[in-house]
Every structure is written in C-alpha cells, then in structure tokens.
Amino acid sequence: MITPDRVVRTVCPYCGVGCALELHVKDDLIYRVTSPFDSVVNQGNLCVKGRFGYNFIYHPKRVTVPLVRRYLLEGQPRPPRAEAPQASYPGNGSTPSPWDWIETDWETALNLVADHLVRIYRESGPKAMATYGSAKATNEDNYLLQKIFRALFRTNNVDHCTRLCHAGSVTALMQSLGTSAMSNTAIEVLDSDVFIVTGSNTTENHPIIALHMKRAVRERGAKLIVVDPRRIELVDFAELWLPLRPGTNVAVFSAMAHVIVKEGLYNRAFIEARTEGFEEYVKSLEKFTPEFAENVSGVPAEDIRRAARLYATAKNGAIFWGMGISQLSHGTASALTLVHLALLTGHIGRRSTGLNPLRGQNNVQGSSDMGVMPFHFPGYMRVDAPGNAEKWEKAWNIEPGGLSRELGLTTTEILSHAGPHGVRALYIMGENPMMTEPNLNKTRHHIEQLDFLVVQDLFINETGVYADVFLPATPFAEKDGTFTNTDRRVQRVRAALPPRGQSRPDWQILCDVAKRIEARLGRPTAGWEYQHPSEILAEVSRVVPEYAGITYERIEKEGLQYPVWDLKHPGTPFLFSETFPRGRGRFIPLDYVTAAETPDDEYPFILTTGRLLEHWHGGTLTRHSSLDELYPQAYVEIHPADAEMHGIKDGMMVKVSTRRGEVALRAHVTEKTTVGVLFIPMHFAEAAANLLTNDVLDPQARIPEYKACAAQVFPLHEEMLSPLPRGRY
C-alpha cells in the first residue's frame, strides 16, 4: 500500500461518457486510479481503460523533445518523400539523411513551424492551409487551433474526427431539429420503459452507459430492443434482437415507422403541435412494408412489427445509437429514420426519452462546440450565414469581412485535396488519420502530396512518420482544461503531473505558434496572451450563448450540462421540452438507400468495422499502455457457418481482402457476428481495418462508409506464405 502525495480529481480521457477519475500520485507517478462513488456520471464505476489505461504516459516511445527533420534545420529545400526512411529517430545513424529527426529546442521548432506555414500561406493563400483538431484535446486547445486557422490564415479548412464518427447523425439532427447533441442524459435510461440500442456496442464502447442500461433492464424492468448485425453483449439483456444486414438501417427503421402509422400508434397531438411535413412523409412510407424490410435486411417482419409496437406504446421510449447508424454512405438518411421514430411517437422533449447519439471521444462534443468544423464557427454558427462571421471578427479584432465565409473542407476532403494546387500545409493536433481514414492505401498517397506537415502529439504514430515537425504535447494528466461529455456536461480536467520532459500543454504550444505567425503576417493581434485555460473558456462564453453561464468556478466540483444561458442557469439535463431549435421538428421523406458496395461472387462477405473494450481508435494511447498486453492482436470475427464453408478454424491465419487492400490476421470463429458478415476492429496498425474500408462519402455529411463494404476471406496455409529468405552471408 502506498500513501499518495496527492489525489487529483479529473475526467477520463477515453470515451464520451466522461467518468470522474481520481489519480493517485506518488513521486509524479500515477499508480492507482479510483472514482468517487458520488460522481454524477459514473457513480464510482469505471471500465478497464479508465481504471488501468494510463501508463502510456510513461512509455519510453513517448516523444518529449521537439523534433524537426534535418533538412529543415539545415535550411535545405524539402527532399522527395521517397528518400524518407521509415524511421530515423533519433537521427544519429551513421549515414545522415535529410529526413532524420533531430531533437531541438522549442524556439527553433516553433519558428520553423511559423516560417513554413506563413511561407505557404503567402505563396498559395488560405486554400492551401488546413488543420485537424482533436477530440482528445480540451475545449480550450481546440478553440485556439480553429482560431489560428480562421483568424490568421482566413480559412475554414478546419475539421476533426467528428466527421468520421457522427457526421451523419449531426447532419440529420441539424436538418430535422436544428441541433445536434444528445437530447437527454444517459443515466435517465434508468426510468425509460422501452429503449432501442442500435449500431452501438455500448458495453465495449460506452461501458458505463451500458451499466445503466443493464440496470434499467434487470432492476427496473425496462425492455431493450437491440438492432445490430452483431450479437453484442446487450443482446443478453434484450427483449428483442433485430440482426439486420449492415447498411439496411433505413429499411428496418422506416418499416417500424410504417407499422406505427398503419396501426395508428403514432402520437397525433405531438405531431400536430410540434412537427411539420407529416403528410408527405407518410406517403413516402408506403413502400417500407415490414416484408420489404425483411427481404433486404434479413430481419423477420414479425419482429419489426413487435419492435414498432413496443417502442410506440412505451411511456418513455428512448433511442441510443452509435456509429453503425452514421458511418454509412447514407449516414444522414439512416439517422433521420431514428429522428422520425421519435417525432412520430413524441418520445422526445421529456426525461428518459429522446434521441441519443452516443458520442465516441471524451471531447468530441466539445471540439464540435468549439467550432473545429469546416461549416461552423464555435457554437454551431454557420460560416456562410449572415451575421455570424461579424460576431467573431469583433471578438478576434479582425477587420470587417476578414474572416472567410466559405465552407471549408472536411476531414476526408482535406487529405484528398492535398497537392500543389490544393492543401499544401496541414497541422494535425492529436489525430491519427493514417489509421482512421478509410482506404488507407489511397490516404497514404494523399498525405505524401503535402508540402509541410506539423504533428502535435505524444507519439510518432502512423501519421507522425509523415510529419516535418513534431511538437511534443502533454496528455490529459499533465494539463488543465475542460472536456464536454456525450450528455453535454462540461467538466474540469486537472493537471496531476508536471509535463514530462520538455513536452507542453497544447494550448501553450498553440499560443506560441499563433504569436509567431501573427508577427510574421503583421496582423493586429487577435489575442493570444492567456495565463490559464480558464481565460480561453471565458472568451468562448462571451460569444457562444450556450456556454455563457459556464465558468471554471462553477464547474469546480461538478460539471454543467449546456445550454447554460447565464451565470445563474442550472444547466439543461434534457432538451426540447417546449420547442425544437428550428421551431417544428421536420419529417423528411426518404427513399430506400443501402451500402455503396454490396456482396457479389468475387467479394461475398460484408465487412464491418468497429471497436473493442480494451483499445482506443487509432491506438496511439492504448497500444502504448498495458491494455495492449491484455489485447495484443487483431482478429477477424467470422460466423461458424461461414467458417466451415471456407475451411477456416478458430485461431487460424486468414487473409481478408476488399477492392482496396488486404490484411492478414487471425480468425475468431464466433456467433457474435452473423452469417455473411465479417468484423475487424480498427485499432491494429499491423492489420489495419481501414486498409479495407470504402472511402465513399455520404453526400451531405461527408462521412465515409466504414460499416459496410464487400470483402473476401480465405485461409492462409503454410504453403501459401513465401519461403524464408535464403540469406547470402
């Protein structure tokens, strides 16, 4: 037993649940993590990542010194990328390469960053500049990053991984309701009597919300409907499981709406009082009979009817969804079908009901709120709507008309536009697109087209190897700030440790970069003299009305759920009790759409991707922690029936290929997946699922189709592997 020097209360850096953590520190080492039993979000419960996943902080591969490539230090022109060796850190090999990483001081690194960003901006203008924010970083970090690119480089090419996770949901909710966050608080599920979980493996990806759900079922008698192609753990708790083929959400949920309308189970009073477009929408439902849905999705029509009746007749019905809804080339349509169900039944605007997109990252809600999106300033103010740019021009001391009113490029588009006439300089803060973008083989060609790449992170990850300058940032435990969790709760993140080595908190790095850029451009200052992150949040609160009442003092003990309209406002546990932000909720008629790629003779399987309890997204953190010891390897899930037909046994090496790439990994023969469906987790660089995924985008939300593409799988037998090299010496 060790007596801690201090115990620091902060927020978990992994998923969007936002659990309270207490970090026990001895000699600047975190050796134990607990959670206060009175925490409103998680009541003392944690998952394996929150409780044990922190030792990446001490991993020897963590970079704690600024790094620049040798050619930059020597003032040489950028050599061709083909000459870049795979890994040249620390650059003290016997044969110096212009791409060697050289350890340097902050002054040199920051000046190089400012010099080259400004050079490219002068040469090619705003369209050549772009940045990725980070849903792992704090609100303050993200706000500053977008401020740099908007105020100094006058571009809206600002985005982050929200594009890759819930862009479909955000677009659908924006179109139909006028806002995009989770409508209710997750723990309210304890008082729902029926709830739908779809496209979300909640147990693994939002473990603490899954605990609430299980409790609702076991102790409160709630009925759970799971709509998911995988037999996820929650199916054990479900009244009904609708195992649909990936990419057929629109058919299944529209068929549920069809049943609700045909059987007169809809809430007429609510529809009349709060919605518009009902008549036209009902016409569009004609084609979505349960039999039609059964035909395309494989879900028995009778189960669709039962699910529809259960949800429609509930007292408090809620819908929770994850990326299985949004990560499709029709992610917007797919999420709209869920909005329709809530509008039809009136299961929204009350406690324990609602539309609840479970946000993935610890701060994906916050970084979206902070305007790290190409279409919106902070506070979801459209960049192209009149009056919005003016507000920010005033706040940032910019001449009228100075800010760009043009929509910027999204995450996937930023890289696909890389090149001499498109995006030339990219600044990536804490993201790993070389793991998380779809169709990585193509993405690699794109990233090689950049002229200058700055990466600000903890590790040289799959993206960091393409960087020209690497700025060592600090993880959650070494900085102050705020995260906004999935139920809109803005919570305090506190430094428990001093920054390791020379690493610095992101907000400090960004302020220093900004000041240098500003001086070189000779612009009047937009304001970068912050002594503490609380001053950054105060700047946000002055302009963004939803954050107006949030101050560090108020969230010292417990977070506040925005909107918090003023300093007296208590926060908002659930939204839409009176009205929707756009006025009436809108029904939007839909046609049947499905995945862009469907199975054929050559690629007879549907490959779907997702996450594991033990790992986190691109793996930059968890694969450098003891979580990797717990779950060291990728695998592909295949159903026993398929496995038998293809001669695949549990644990066997197999090759999975799609039209875009192939990976070799072990097979896990399990009924957790359904017949015809393969599943590969996205975390493992050595068998990256995103080498296989389809980079087709949803036309409105620009989200890629991670959840369904055509694939083939075959066993890798010994004789198919190349012989060992003979060796010449």
Partner 1 sequence: MSETFTLSINGIQVTACKGQTLLEVAREHGIDIPTICYHPATQSNGLCRMCVVEVEGMRLLQPACVVPAQAEMKVQTDSPRVHRARKTILEMLASTADLSEAPEIQRMMQAYQADPSRFPEAEPRHIPPIDDNPMYVREYSKCILCWRCVQVCAEDAQYTYAIHFSGRGYHTRIDTFYGLPMTATTCVFCGQCVGVCPTDALEPKSEYLLEQGKYPFPFR
List of residues contacting partner 1 (CB under 8 A): 1-2, 24, 26, 29-35, 37, 43-48, 51-52, 55, 58-60, 207, 211, 214, 218-219, 237, 613-614, 626-627, 629-630
Provide, rounded to whole angstroms, the least separation between the CB of residue 236 and partner 1.
9
Burial of 341 (0-12, 13-18, 19+ CB in 10 A): buried
| Nearest CB to partner 1, comparing residues 55 and 441 | 55
Provide, rounded to whole angstroms, the least separation between the CB of residue 68 and partner 1.
26
| Nearest CB to partner 1, comparing residues 629 and 719 | 629
Question: DSSP letter string over 24-71?
Answer: EEETTEEEEEE--TT-TTTTT---HHHHHTTGGGG-TT---S-EEEHH
Distances (CA, A) of 507 to 114, 115, 138, 148, 459: 16, 20, 9, 11, 18
| Nearest CB to partner 1, comparing residues 59 and 391 | 59
Instruction: Give the DSSP letter of residue 647.
Output: T
| Nearest CB to partner 1, comparing residues 43 and 108 | 43
Contact in structure between 550 and 490 (CB atoms under 8 Å): yes
Contact in structure between 139 and 366 (CB atoms under 8 Å): yes
Q: Which residue has the tokens 């723990």?
A: 187
Structure tokens at 675: 């017949």
- Find the Cα–Cα–Cα–Cα dihedral 93, 444, 368, 37, rounded to 10°: -60
In angstroms, rounded to a whole number, what is the distance separating the alpha carbons of residues 494 and 508? 15
Q: Which among 454, 373, 443 is positioned nearest to 415, based on CA atoms? A: 443
| Nearest CB to partner 1, comparing residues 59 and 287 | 59
Provide, rounded to whole angstroms, the least separation between the CB of residue 203 and partner 1.
8
| Nearest CB to partner 1, comparing residues 3 and 722 | 3
Provide, rounded to whole angstroms, the least separation between the CB of residue 75 and partner 1.
37
Provide, rounded to whole angstroms, the least separation between the CB of residue 60 and partner 1.
6
| Nearest CB to partner 1, comparing residues 22 and 451 | 22
Report the amino acid identity of residue 649.
Answer: K
| Nearest CB to partner 1, comparing residues 24 and 340 | 24
| Greatest extent of the chain over all pairs of C-alpha atoms, in Å | 84
Q: Which among 361, 320, 434 is positioned nearest to 135, based on CA atoms? A: 361
Contacts of 675 (CB under 8 A, 6+ apart): 639, 641, 642
Q: Which among 525, 520, 413 is positioned nearest to 120, based on CA atoms? A: 520
Provide, rounded to whole angstroms, the least separation between the CB of residue 621 and partner 1.
13
| Nearest CB to partner 1, comparing residues 19 and 536 | 19
Provide, rounded to whole angstroms, the least separation between the CB of residue 613 and partner 1.
6
Question: DSSP letter string over 600-631?
Answer: -SSS-EEEEEE--TT--TT-TTGGGSTHHHHS
Provide, rounded to whole angstroms, the least separation between the CB of residue 30 and partner 1.
8
In angstroms, rounded to a whole number, what is the distance separating the alpha carbons of residues 106 and 124? 27
The side-by-side arrangement of strands in the sheet containing 6-11 is 6-11, 20-26, 29-34
Query: Could you give the 3-state DSSP secondary structure of residue 438?
Result: coil
| Nearest CB to partner 1, comparing residues 135 and 217 | 217
Provide, rounded to whole angstroms, the least separation between the CB of residue 612 and partner 1.
11
Structure tokens at 355: 């539309």
Provide, rounded to whole angstroms, the least separation between the CB of residue 643 and partner 1.
22
Burial of 545 (0-12, 13-18, 19+ CB in 10 A): middle
| Nearest CB to partner 1, comparing residues 371 and 499 | 499
| Nearest CB to partner 1, comparing residues 260 and 496 | 496
| Nearest CB to partner 1, comparing residues 54 and 576 | 54
| Nearest CB to partner 1, comparing residues 52 and 106 | 52
Structure tokens at 47: 């998952």
In angstroms, rounded to a whole number, what is the distance separating the alpha carbons of residues 567 and 569? 6
**Pairing state between β 317-321 and 194-198:** parallel
Contacts of 617 (CB under 8 A, 6+ apart): 161, 360, 361, 432, 435, 436, 611, 682, 683
Provide, rounded to whole angstroms, the least separation between the CB of residue 347 and partner 1.
26
| Nearest CB to partner 1, comparing residues 45 and 441 | 45
In angstroms, rounded to a whole number, what is the distance separating the alpha carbons of residues 31 and 51? 10
Provide, rounded to whole angstroms, the least separation between the CB of residue 464 and partner 1.
19
Provide, rounded to whole angstroms, the least separation between the CB of residue 273 and partner 1.
36
**Pairing state between β 585-586 and 275-276:** parallel
Query: Could you give the 3-state DSSP secondary structure of residue 528?
Result: coil
Report the Cα–Cα distance between both ends of the chain, in Å, rounded: 55
| Nearest CB to partner 1, comparing residues 647 and 651 | 651
| Nearest CB to partner 1, comparing residues 226 and 596 | 226
Provide, rounded to whole angstroms, the least separation between the CB of residue 428 and partner 1.
25
Provide, rounded to whole angstroms, the least separation between the CB of residue 50 and partner 1.
9
Q: Which among 318, 174, 298 is positioned nearest to 247, based on CA atoms? A: 298
Provide, rounded to whole angstroms, the least separation between the CB of residue 624 and partner 1.
9
**Pairing state between β 585-586 and 662-669:** unpaired
Provide, rounded to whole angstroms, the least separation between the CB of residue 32 and partner 1.
5
Contact in structure between 676 and 244 (CB atoms under 8 Å): no
